[in-house]
């Protein structure tokens, strides 16, 4: 919803941009006509055409990025023309001349007939003229679509952007000269902004063309725009759900709201679907998780322990599996993970993020504690504070009339990836390998294209690089030939990597080294002392557990068969 608001406001502000100038003659030419029969149909035609053309541009941009070097050259040429048109208004005018001429002919035709359909057709032509105009927020939408692929959400955002621009133009039609005079005063500043954007675009073209960007495209991808949008959102709105206050002895827990419905789940495991009405009278713990999320895996032993310890006293645990990666949407994968992790409570499959949105959730893992009256009384995001969470469970059960509760606290004695973290805050952060969210890349990436890579002679701490023949997609990097390597210089006790076998399901063998040597006693639970392992399913693999605790090392994994997909590093 907030992205829709930002898109709408971006469209409204388009009216003070110089690139709206070619559209204004057609808009103000209708100021003396009935708005419902002339102005409104024209503006509707503008909005619909603009959204359609911009969506096609996004699709075309994504297609061009898939075309190896030819596609890259085409994309750079288009970007260069855009930059030059921002720098030199005469070029922009020349490019717009055919559309202006067509609009003038339609405008004369409209004066002769005066029908709403004629005005709508004129709006279509005006939309074609307006479509090349890109403001900052529109640029974010189109950049995200070009790199990740246009979809229905892209079109909706573009329609909302167009609706915002149409709103301001409609006001200009209704108010007339006063709005036009205010616009004229703003155009001087807007022209300098236009030229500055042109300089930045051309600088970007030069950097990319010379190969100096080192992952620049990844930093302009969807994840980067999402971060910018989130900063804008955070600047104007507080956190939707601030941290719960710590429970105080003798004082009741605050009421944070009513438990949302559990409607919208795409499937249920370990029992029939649960409903909010059916859970009334029970104390409920809702746990949002994903089976390849390392933080979720380390929290699960506590959640499962609470489910077993307090089930007979009225606690119902509901797991909500909300996927992060595409393979986590597969019911078979989720069912297998639930079995291997020993989860016995009910789990909802939230592939459409319906329950996630109902709770206004933002985190994996996230725990919501609900009393017998269906009210949210406490929540906790991320790992940690397990004793406090168990105290909350006890408090809510006692409020609900439970007696004779068992003492002590659940602890985590798991091994492998679910074992408690080292507690060192200096560890390497989560590192995504798909171009949509990649960071700290030492080797240049060609998004969506098969390419040869060569790892640099040295990596800085937290940097990673590819070596061999790879294809980097939005979510993952796929090795195309046997012998391909992936390197990371990390600091941590544990290092995990989310991996998937070849797309045809064939297992992929691999070998891990640390500082060029077999890991020995530092091998993780998914490899042997020689560093050998096999990818047989889509999941998180623990590849390193350093016996001496957190330390800086050079990790390298060599794939002995082609086809493996690598998604993200996590550490502990």
Q: How many whole angstroms separate alpha carbon 15 and alpha carbon 173?
A: 12
Q: How many whole angstroms separate alpha carbon 3 and alpha carbon 26?
A: 30
Give ranges for CATH 3.40.30.10 in the chain: 257-417
CATH class of 431-571: mainly beta
- What homologous superfamily is domain 257-417 in, according to CATH? Glutaredoxin (3.40.30.10)
3-state secondary structure 30-82: CCCCCHHHHHHHHHHHHHHHHHHHHHHHHHHHHHHHCCHHHHHHHHHHHHHHH
Q: Are 402 and 525 in contact (CB under 8 A)?
A: no
Joined together, the tokens standing for residue 24 give 């204004």
pLDDT tens, the chain, 572 aa long = 555 666 676 666 655 554 555 555 555 555 555 666 666 676 677 667 666 655 554 444 444 333 334 444 554 565 566 556 656 666 656 655 665 555 555 455 544 444 565 566 555 655 554 544 444 445 444 444 443 444 555 567 667 777 777 776 777 666 654 555 555 455 454 455 556 655 655 665 565 455 443 333 333 333 333 333 334 334 444 445 666 666 666 678 899 999 999 999 999 999 999 999 999 999 999 999 999 999 999 999 999 999 999 999 999 999 999 999 999 999 999 999 999 999 999 999 999 999 999 999 999 999 999 999 999 999 999 999 999 999 999 999 999 999 999 999 999 988 889 999 998 889 999 999 999 889 899 978 888 899 999 999 999 999 999 999 999 999 999 999 999 999 999 999 999 999 999 988 899 999 999 999 999 999 999 999 999 999 999 999 999 999 999 999 999 999 999 999 999 999 99
pLDDT given for residue 251 in this prediction: 76
486, burial (CB in 10 Å: exposed 0-12, middle 13-18, buried 19+): buried
447 DSSP assignment: B
Residues 324, 329, 330, 332, CA torsion sign:
positive
Q: How many whole angstroms separate alpha carbon 187 and alpha carbon 17?
A: 7
pLDDT given for residue 499 in this prediction: 97
> Which residue shows structure tokens 């790892």?
455
Bond before 365 cis per omega within 30 degrees: yes
- CB half-sphere exposure, 227, CA atoms < 13 A: 10
Q: Are 567 and 498 in contact (CB under 8 A)?
A: yes
Give ranges for CATH 2.60.120.260 in the chain: 431-571
> Which residue shows structure tokens 């419905």?
261
Of 354, 157, 508, nearest in space to 165 by CA: 157
365 DSSP assignment: S
Rounded alpha-carbon distances, angstroms, from residue 122 to 34, 39, 313 = 16, 10, 70
3-state secondary structure 376-432: EEEEEECCCCHHHHHHHHHHHHHHCCCCCCCCCCCCCCCCHHHCCCCCCCCCCCCEE
């Amino acid at each position: 919803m907030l992205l829709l608001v930002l898109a709408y406001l971006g469209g409204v502000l388009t009216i003070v941009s110089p690139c709206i100038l070619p559209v204004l003659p057609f808009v103000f030419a209708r100021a003396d006509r009935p708005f419902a029969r002339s102005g409104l149909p024209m503006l509707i035609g503008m909005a619909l055409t603009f959204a359609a053309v911009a969506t096609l541009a996004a699709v075309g941009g994504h297609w061009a990025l898939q075309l190896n070097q030819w596609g890259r050259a085409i994309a750079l040429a288009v970007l260069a023309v855009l930059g030059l048109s921002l720098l030199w208004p005469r070029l922009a005018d020349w490019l717009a001349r055919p559309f202006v001429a067509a609009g003038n002919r339609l405008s004369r035709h409209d004066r002769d007939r005066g029908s709403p359909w004629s005005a709508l057709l004129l709006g279509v032509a005006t939309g074609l003229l307006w479509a090349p105009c890109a403001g900052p927020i529109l640029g974010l939408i189109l950049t995200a679509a070009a790199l990740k692929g246009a979809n229905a959400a892209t079109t909706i955002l573009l329609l909302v952007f167009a609706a915002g621009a149409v709103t301001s133009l409609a006001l200009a039609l209704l108010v007339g000269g006063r709005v036009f005079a205010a616009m004229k005063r703003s155009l001087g500043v807007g022209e300098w902004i236009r030229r500055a954007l042109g300089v930045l675009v051309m600088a970007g073209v030069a950097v990319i063309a010379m190969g100096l960007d080192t992952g620049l495209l990844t930093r302009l991808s969807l994840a980067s725009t999402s971060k910018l949008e989130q900063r804008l959102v955070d600047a104007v709105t507080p956190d939707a759900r601030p941290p719960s206050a710590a429970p105080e002895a003798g004082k009741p827990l605050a009421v944070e709201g009513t438990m949302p419905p559990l409607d919208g789940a795409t499937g249920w495991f370990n029992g029939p679907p649960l409903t909010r009405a059916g859970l009334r009278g029970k104390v409920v713990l809702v746990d949002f998780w994903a089976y390849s999320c390392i933080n979720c895996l380390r929290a699960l032993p506590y959640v499962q322990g609470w489910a077993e310890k307090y089930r007979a006293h009225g606690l119902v645990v509901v797991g909500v599996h909300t996927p992060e990666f595409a393979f986590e949407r597969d019911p078979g994968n989720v069912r297998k993970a639930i079995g291997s992790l020993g989860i016995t409570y009910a789990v909802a499959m939230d592939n459409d993020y319906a329950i996630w949105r109902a709770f206004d959730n933002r985190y994996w893992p996230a725990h919501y504690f609900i009393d017998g009256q269906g009210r949210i009384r406490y929540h906790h995001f991320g790992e940690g504070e397990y004793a406090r969470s168990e105290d909350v469970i006890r408090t809510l059960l006692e409020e609900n009339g439970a007696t004779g509760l068992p003492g002590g606290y659940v602890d985590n004695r798991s091994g492998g990836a679910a074992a408690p973290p080292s507690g060192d805050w200096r560890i390497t952060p989560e590192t995504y390998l798909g171009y949509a969210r990649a960071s700290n890349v030492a080797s240049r990436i060609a998004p969506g294209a098969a390419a040869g890579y060569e790892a640099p002679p040295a990596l800085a701490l937290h940097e990673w690089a590819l070596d061999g023949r790879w294809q980097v997609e939005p979510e993952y990097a796929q090795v195309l030939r046997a012998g391909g390597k992936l390197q990371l210089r990390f600091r941590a006790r544990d290092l995990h990597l989310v991996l998937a076998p070849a797309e045809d399901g064939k297992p992929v063998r691999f070998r891990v080294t640390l500082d060029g040597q077999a890991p020995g006693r530092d091998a993780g639970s998914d490899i042997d002392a020689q560093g050998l392992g096999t990818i047989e399913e889509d999941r998180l693999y623990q590849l390193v557990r350093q016996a001496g605790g957190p330390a800086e090392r050079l990790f390298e994994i060599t794939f002995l068969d082609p086809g493996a997909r690598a998604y993200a590093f996590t550490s502990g």
